[in-house]
Amino acid sequence: MKVYISATLRNFFGKNSQVEAPVDTVRKALAYLISTYPEGEKVLYDENKKVRDFIQIYVNNKKLTVETIWDATLPEETEILLLPAIAGGAPTDAPVESLISDERRKAVSFDDSEIERFGKHLMLRDIGVKGQKRIKAAKVVVVGAGALGSPVIQYLAAAGVGTIKVIDFDEVSLENLQSQVIHGTRDLKRPKVASAKDKVKNINRNIDFIAEKEELKASNIWEEIEGYDLVVDCTDNYKARYLINDACALHGVPVVFGAIYQFEGQVGVFNLDGGPCYRCQYPSPPPSGLIPSCAEGGAISPLPGIVGSIQANEALKLILGIGEHLNGKLLHIDSLNLTSRILKVERNCNCPICGNNPTITDVEEIDYEDLCGLKAKDEVPVEGFSPEELAKKIDNGDPMTIIDVREPHERAILRFPNAIVIPIGQLVRRIKELDPNKDTVFVCKQGKRSELAINTLREAGYTGPLYNLKGGIDAMKDIMFTHEGAWL
């Protein structure tokens, strides 16, 4: 049988996208993977030897929910998919009515310029005048004005969505311009929401655009989404993704979800008409640092355009009440191999948010920093050096071992001088390469994976002094690597 491995997991399995396993059950296939690639055990299984919650297993595009099925004999042509998070019920194929009521539609009118502007929509039988009025009456929140938000915001604006609120706390940087096409060179160091507002006003000045430069938190999320018809999740981190899902699930607001990594993307619709929420698919996020984020792993520039365009398409279909939706489904796209598949997402009756007996009734009950492994654990503090401190130690020639745990493509962009390369999955078996009598400093792009490396060694019993580069190489590049050639 063939085992397809999603991009975020491939570094643990010899960088293979597909592995031929000469076995006939799921359990044997997983065992074969681990025996062939021992480094994959840490990412695939938790400390209780259970498959981690952020990884779902599909057999011939059907999700396995009962572990006993793992021992069933399967035919040779079987395809197993390991699908990680990148963040009963109503029948998912049932028609979905428009999110916009007839009363709100009838309250909308067009002027002559709008009739000309939206002529291509008005000619479509499934849209027409009534549908275009629904679009104008719609109120949509887009969280994130980055790579995914760029196409979503522009296409919703071009389609004529009447009210668009965009929430993002970040500013435009040079590295954003490769894939965040809503921004330009003149927008560098400007708030992303301000840049997005300019672009939208250039598309259609009649749109009511609300720019919110702030970080979503449990204390403000309901205030930001209350009164809106749907939320489009264009975030790039698990903390925001679970917060958005939970708040929307609790208040019955549909979410159009999207995620990207390298050459792969996912799109789904959650919290719609009794359908599943994001937690039904991925009960918990991966441990912090275990899986690189899009910012760390990169993404080919057209990919967010593909995924974001599909998100905008799903949002418009929900507003119009037409077509089939990704409610209870997950579209998985592989742009490198030019394949896609639609996977079924079941509603989990034990889900703590939308299950039969929910245990979470308010987002303020949840510590999302802790849920996503972002909060420092008091019992195991990770010591570290600031970029300035480490630079001074290097300049002074202080004895130390520097371990670089980044991926090969990251090191190709910027090498850390005199560092030893040891991937996290190899740390335990290469522990003898470390000198417990010397300081060992771990470096990665942003400082999260190096913290995981330190905790991994501690769990393995290593007693030497271990330090993390605070903020990673991103925080240090201007100190140590000031000439442009260092990035080539």
Residues 411, 296: Cα–Cα separation, whole Å:
11
Rounded (5°) CA angle 179-181-183: 115
* Phi, psi angle pair for 82, to nearest 5°: -95, 110
CATH topology of domain 2-84: Ubiquitin-like (UB roll) (3.10.20)
Rounded distance between C-alpha atoms, residue 97 and residue 228, angstroms: 16
55: pLDDT confidence band, cut at 50, 70 and 90?
confident
Q: What percent of the chain has pLDDT over 70?
A: 91
Is the domain defined by 138-371 classed in CATH 3.40.190.10?
Answer: no
CATH for 384-487?
Answer: 3.40.250.10
Q: Max alpha carbon distance in the chain (Å)?
A: 79
Q: Are 282 and 56 in contact (CB under 8 A)?
A: yes
Mean pLDDT of 311-330: 95
| pTM to 2 decimal places | 0.72
User: 131-135: long-range contacts at Cβ-Cβ below 8 A with a sequence spacing of 24 or more?
Assistant: 131/320, 131/322, 132/160, 133/105, 133/106, 133/108, 134/98, 134/100, 134/104, 134/105, 134/319, 134/320, 134/321, 135/159, 135/160, 135/161, 135/162, 135/316, 135/319, 135/320
Which amino acid, 27? R
Q: Which residue has the higher pLDDT, 141 or 72?
A: 141
Q: What percentage of the chain exceeds 90 in pLDDT?
A: 50
* Pairwise pLDDT comparison (233 vs 9), residue with the higher score: 233
Half-sphere exposure of 312 (CA within 13 A, CB side): 21
Q: Encode pLDDT of 56-89 as tens digits.
A: 888 888 887 667 678 888 888 888 888 887 643 3
**Region of poorest pLDDT, from 29-38, 184-193, 263-272:** 29-38
pLDDT at 478 over 90: no
Residue 192 has pLDDT above 80, yes or no: yes
Match 């896609």 to its residue by tokens.
340
Instruction: Read off the pLDDT of residues 451-468 as tens digits, 9 standing for 90 and up.
Output: 888 988 888 889 899 999
Name the most confidently modeled range: 113-117, 294-298, 443-447: 113-117
pLDDT(374) > 70: no
**349 has catalytic annotation:** no
State the catalytic residue, choosing from 277, 351, 372, 444.
444
Catalytic annotation present for 294: yes
Query: Whose CA is closest to 87, among 369, 346, 282?
Result: 282
Residue boundaries of the structural domains of the chain = 2-84, 138-371, 384-487
10 neighbors 262 (Cβ within 8 angstroms): no
C-alpha 311/C-alpha 152 separation (Å) is: 7
E strands, 170-314, in order: 208-212, 230-233, 255-261, 264-270
* Confidence label for 477 from pLDDT (cuts 50, 70 and 90): confident
Which range has highest mean pLDDT (41-45, 239-243, 365-369)? 239-243
Backbone dihedral angles phi then psi of residue 127, each to the nearest 5 degrees? -115, -75
DSSP per position, 43-95: HHB-TTSPBPTTEEEEETTEE---GGGGGS---TT-EEEEEE-----S-TTS-
Q: Phi first, then psi: give them for residue 69, nearest 5 degrees.
A: -70, -15
* Choice among 234, 280, 294, 372 that is catalytic: 294
